[in-house]
Structure 1
Amino acid sequence: MSEDPGLLMTLGRRSGPLDTVLIHPAGGGLGQYVGLTLQLARHGTVHGIRAAGLLPGERPERSVPRMAAAYRELLDALPRPPALLAGWSLGGILAWELAAQAAAAGNAGDTPPPAVVMIDSHPELEPDNALLRSHPLDSIEHSAGGLSSGFEPALLRSTAAAHLTAARAHRVRQPSDTPTLLLACASPDREAQIARWRSLATRLTVRDLDCGHFDVFTPPHHRQLLCHIKEFVDGLAVTA
């Protein structure tokens, strides 16, 4: 994995009690999060973590634990710990793993571990999962390209392939009691997805999205997504 420090970037800067870090989905870019950044920046500074592999000379990572270890170092370098970690798909898995690590390690002082927003993330991908039957590489490339990622298609595709390898191999095992929002898309796997997360998360809020996995950032579904996240984050802000 590249040691390029440019993986962490500031997406929106504003004073407030809830700093957020948005974590890339499979494919590695952050273009999907423009609207979400604008909403979350009302509460505090928003940072984003893109994946290695999108620029010439970088190698994409094929392991969720190694990505989480690298991103934990990036979070530790921030001026203050984030109050919220969020991500779509693989990004939600990484958000969960980072929050669970923070909870297990114990944060300095009285700072609680970050809350988590997972946008249609699956704790494990069985071979018959609908996502794996829907030509995910083509779907990732199409959705990222439609959001003006600015990255070379070949690099985007190779990074997405590496991330799919990582997602297929990973199984979420670490439970957590941090406040967590799961936004679950319409899918034959939705009931099993929710049940598995309920076995891991003791403070889980579930909201359904009436669309497919690769449609969450398109109108009118994006508005529904933002409404659910706003409700969750407003609740966090009350207790901050």
Structure 2
Amino acid sequence: MFAADRSATTNTQSLLISFGGRGKGPTPADSLSTVLFHPSGGRLGPYLGLVGHLSRRGPVSGVRGRGLHPGESPHDDVRAMADLYAGLLSELPEPPGLLAGWSLGGLLAWEVAHRLPADGPRPAVVMVDSFAEPWSACHTARGELRERILGGLPATTAAEERARAARTADAHLTASAAHHATTGRPGPALLLACASEEQAAQKDDWLRRDPSLDVRALPCAHFEVFDAPRSPLLLRHVDDFLTAHVPAHP
């Protein structure tokens, strides 16, 4: 678990966490700044391997979900999260060149990109098995999704921390059950779609919003995407996309 997932504070600013990154050049112009958005449950821990990979290109930051720390109430609305998170990006030393996330995190990356100034830089967006339509359109029951999310917690997680995680997961599932993704191209975007009964509808739903969306398949289930045997293909797709669409940061 990342330290950002467990350090206790009620400061909203702490939702934006810096993971560092060494970049490939001597100046910010030579590196790619990335922001990763939390999946349902609010934790950034699933992104450990992705952070390590992307930090070779430049600084990586993450936005955790509110509700994980004492005194916080979780968001239960995607629009409210996206509005808040878009504002947090102004605190970064430079505008991000990449917004990315898994599941709800990818949807948040998409929505935040749509909220950035139209006359400013347009970051690339990477969505890992995210859905444009509410999760209730899928064939996975809410209770099963909740258990899979909470199953990612370490066995040593304290009862109070587990209770906060459960409340946050519930709030995020409520948010996902009501949100329809914004239509339009926010910038170059990639959808990595996992193998499932919903994959065809998932692709169609996104392509209706952005016909130029780059869509690539991952031969694994939703909760397997960051497993060690699966990561190389995911990272290769991300690298290929960035090379094609963010040529200043090969």
TM-score (normalised: structure 2): 0.86
Q: Which runs of 5+ in 1 are unaligned?
A: none
| 1:157 CA displacement | 1.1
Q: Hey, what's the Cα distance between the residues in 2 that align with 1:201 and 1:145?
A: 38
Identify the residue that residue 62 of structure 1 maps to in structure 2. 76
AA aligned to 1:100 is H
Identify the residue that residue 196 of structure 1 maps to in structure 2. 205
Q: Hey, what's the Cα distance between the residues in 1 that align with 2:232 and 2:154?
A: 21
Corresponding position: 1:29 with 2:43: yes
Output one character per residue of 1:15-73: Cα deviation in whole Å (capped at 9) or x when no partner: 44310000000000101111111111111110000011001111000000100111011
Identify the residue that residue 174 of structure 2 maps to in structure 1. 165
Is residue 25–residue 88 contact of structure 1 (8 Å, CA) maintained in 2? yes
Q: Percent identity?
A: 43
Identify the residue that residue 26 of structure 2 maps to in structure 1. none
Q: Hey, what's the Cα distance between the residues in 1 that align with 2:82 and 2:203?
A: 23
AA aligned to 1:96 is W
AA aligned to 2:19 is L
Q: Hey, what's the Cα distance between the residues in 2 that align with 1:39 and 1:235?
A: 18
Q: Hey, what's the Cα distance between the residues in 2 that align with 1:76 and 1:49?
A: 13
Q: Hey, what's the Cα distance between the residues in 2 that align with 1:219 and 1:13?
A: 22
Identify the residue that residue 48 of structure 1 maps to in structure 2. 62
Question: Considering only aligned residues, what root-mean-square deviation do their CA atoms show, in Å?
Answer: 2.1
| 1:173 CA displacement | 2.8
Corresponding position: 1:129 with 2:141: no
Q: Hey, what's the Cα distance between the residues in 2 that align with 1:27 and 1:127?
A: 17
Aligned residues: 233
More moved, 80-89 vs 204-213: 204-213
AA aligned to 2:14 is G
Corresponding position: 1:75 with 2:63: no
| 1:156 CA displacement | 1.0
AA aligned to 2:69 is L
Aligned residue runs from structure 1 range 180-219, under 5 A: 180-219=189-228
Corresponding position: 1:106 with 2:115: no
Moved over 3 A (4+): 131-134, 148-151
Secondary structure at 2:136 match in 1: coil
Q: Which runs of 5+ in 2 are unaligned?
A: 1-9, 24-29
Q: Hey, what's the Cα distance between the residues in 2 that align with 1:134 and 1:229?
A: 31
Q: Structure 1 pair 52/185, CA: closer, same or farther in 2 (3 Å)? A: same
Q: Hey, what's the Cα distance between the residues in 1 that align with 2:70 and 2:201?
A: 39
